[in-house]
Homo-oligomer: A and B are copies of this chain.
Amino acid sequence: MRRVLQPDERRAELLTASRAVFASRGYHASGIGDIVKRVGCSRGTFYNYFDSKREVFAAVLSEMMTEVVGVIEPIDVQRDIAEQVRANLERLVSAIMAEDVLRVLFSEAAGIDDEGDEALRSFYSGATQRIETALKTGQTLGVVRAGDTRLLARCLLGLLKEPVFQARLYNEPIDVHALSKELLSLISGGLLRPLQH
């Protein structure tokens, strides 16, 4: 009945379980009970590793952040930029899809409580920051058109989030390749035909 583990392992176990639980039921519908049942340990053990439900959620978030950001590769201006952007988008969407929790995050973002929202803010702030930096570099290189980079960064994030979110809402599969191509089209040429003078 009692299974003694190294703290690191236990923590990892709990984190993995939390991720899965949050992913399948969302934040509010998940209980500590669901997490520990999955791990096969007691409630008390959970609270030896995390101070609160909020905290484990924040930890999951931060873990996600790291993993997802890792897939992005810097753009080499010497090579085909559009293709590199597309590849990055594809990897990004794949990573997001692979991480069910992120899909939860996209759908159930706020409304946890003040501190929970703080964790979210920091997550989004990190994500948007990165995009913004990339955009600014792009502008310097003359690859990205002028504009309010913060706003653009948020729009780009939205471009990515919404298809993922809705796919989850309707429980549809996502064709990662098709999505990344469509996103690239939008980014590189917009939606409207260049007809309208």
Contacts and interface: CB of A to CB of B under 8 A. Distances in A.
Contacts of A109: 107-109, 165, 169
A68 interface: no
Interface string A132-167: 000100100011110110011011111111110110
A145 B143 CA distance: 22
A108 to B, nearest CB: 4
B145 A191 contact: yes
A143 B191 CA distance: 9
Copies of this chain, whole number: 4
Among A144, A157, A158, A187, find the residue whose CB has the most chain B CB atoms closer than 10 A. Answer: A158
Interface stretch (A10-18, A22-30, A58-66): A22-30
Q: Mostly helix, strand, loop or mixed at chain A's interface?
A: helix
A170 B122 CA distance: 10
A97 interface: no
A110 B111 contact: no
A186 interface: yes
B144 A191 contact: yes
A187 B192 contact: yes
A196 interface: yes
A121 B169 contact: yes
Contacts of A168: 110
Nearest to A174: B151
